[in-house]
Structure 1
């Protein structure tokens, strides 16, 4: 690395601090993080096995759930191994290009997860508001097309973040990243050059993707609730509402944690740095942990399959 006028020109290696201010207890913080990761891996893998092996679950709702589980496994795996390397084995260094690749993977899988949640909301909208056409509209071909479109959208919107860093930012004040993984703004703020375009694009991509998804999801559920409350029989209303409660819980945990982390990281200037980092870590770890638990508890077909595998009965 070449140092020029107090800056580093195109660094080859960056150093991840972990959680600034909590370095002395990072070893212990790593234990619950590791437990969350293992639980998320086990829960989502079990979900994938159940959906794959049970032909009655080869329906759009469960296939979207399988996509969500695979995305959760990939998202948590992007950050946890390296994070535990920092916390437990004092391995903070990461190649600059590897850091950018990790950043791209994280943002790509976040966008994919948001897109899958949008598709799940639209699936529930059609299933409840237009049930006779649900099987005609949500064919396996359409599910494949949705999966490809969601992935391409995420890849295309995430790529410019890397290109803008790689091509525009050549000089850096420091190579020490005050974070436990390669978060976009944490890396951009190290640059000694004008970072306004990088910041603007980051905000633009977040609001275009997450903003659009949230608006469509909210509108879908407003229409769903109107339809459900207009159903003539109480039992029908309860059944329809019950199929949506798991989705609503997952939507809330993903978007509320995401926006809270996003705004505190960019605008919470008076909040201690370790709060920012912990929130960012929890945002990437909690949804993969809770999603299979929520669906396992709220979905009867999955509960029944789990009970057969582990030979126990759920309380009625």
Structure 2
């Protein structure tokens, strides 16, 4: 579980690192310029980390399934090496799916106006300012989003259907509540990630009637809010993390605390 939380934290930190600094430079100092190479690198990492984030959520769903349905095999089935291999598979999948996006953009001609209506380089936002035909970009981006989300959501739905079936076979209400508490944090994280990401993808491609501000807000919400709330969700639901936070908060706020340690 802690390895999975570490992987989730890494994806959140990477996302924030590639979005927030540039957005703050735009809002605070009006530094809007970005090189073509920098734009493509930012786009690659943002979309790759999004797919990696989805892979981590799938692995967490499998983790919850094994913990609830096969608890005696948990430590033997989900070993550290197996979790690492699943993370590596998710990383390779993300790179292979996203690598064509910069290549599809490089081949496009761009007009005099190169203003991207976003605080970061989104694939479709960059493609739309091109003078060339972006049909392939639209098709590939949409198919990729549906394939990745469709596959991952199918695995997650299958895991939770098996969990629900196993829980319903138990007559104890206490067992039902324990299973629900075990999955609550994961469900909350998924509700933050998938609906906003899916809706943002559709708005980018078909939401011509939406105001540009709606596109920008949805895109920023997708990359900013989940990384901010995920640590809070798992911090509240995980007893060990919660106890550590309370311990250090009490140590800092307690009267007479010695903040300095002179030599």
State the shift of 1:245 in Å. 0.6
State the Cα distance separating 1:172 from its structure 2 match: 3.0
Aligned to 2:258: none
> 1:280-295 maps to which residues of 2 (within 5 A)?
280-295=219-234
1:237 equivalent in alignment to 2:176: yes
Measure the CA separation in 2 of the matches of 1:309 and 1:143.
Answer: 30
- 8 Å contact 2:138–2:205 — kept in the other structure? no
1:56-115 per-position Cα deviation (integer Å, ceiling 9, x unaligned): xxxxx2210111011101101101111111111010000011101000010011011000
Counterpart for residue 131 of structure 2: 192
Structure 1: gaps spanning 5 or more residues: 1-60
Compute the displacement of 1:298 (Å).
Answer: 1.7
**Structure 1, residues 105-154: CA drift from partner, whole Å, max 9, x if none?**
10011011000000000110111111121111101110111111111111
Most deviating of 232-241 and 192-201: 232-241
Counterpart Cα distance in 2 of 1:173 and 1:132:
64
Correspondence 1:294-305 to 2 at 5 A: 294-305=233-244
Which has the higher mean CA deviation after the structures are superposed, 129-138 or 89-98?
Answer: 129-138
Deviations 1:249-301 (A, max 9, x none): 10111001111211122212111110110111011001001101111112222
Find the residue that maps to 2:34 and give its secondary structure: strand
Kindly state the Cα deviation for residue 238 of structure 1 after the two structures are TM-superposed.
1.2
Check whether the contact 1:173–1:190 (CA below 8 A) recurs between aligned residues: no
Runs of 4+ in structure 1 displaced over 4 angstroms? Answer: none
- 1: CA distance, partners of 2:110 / 2:206: 25
Structure 2 residues without counterparts, runs of 5 or longer: 252-263
- Residues 1:149 and 2:61 aligned together: no
| 2:245 is equivalent to residue 306 of structure 1 | yes
Q: 2: CA distance between counterparts of 1:99 and 1:138?
A: 38
Separation in structure 2 between the aligned mates of residue 230 and residue 296 of structure 1, nearest angstrom: 30
- 90-99 vs 200-209, greater mean Cα deviation: 200-209
Equivalent position of 2:151 in the other structure: 212
Pick aligned residue for 1:105 from 34, 45, 50: 45
Query: How far 1:173 moved relative to its partner?
Result: 5.2
Query: For the residues of structure 2 that align with 1:163 and 1:195, how far apart are their CA atoms?
Result: 13
**2:29 counterpart residue number:** 89
Task: Provide the TM-score with structure 2 as the length reference.
Answer: 0.92
Query: Which structure is richer in relative contact order (CA contacts within 8 A, separation 6 or more)?
Result: 1
- 2:116/2:129 contact within 8 Å kept: yes
Q: How far 1:170 sits from its partner (Å)? A: 2.9
Question: Any idea what the Cα deviations from partners look like across 1:29-74, whole Å, max 9, x if unmatched?
Answer: xxxxxxxxxxxxxxxxxxxxxxxxxxxxxxxx22101110111011
Partner residue in 2 for 1:62:
2
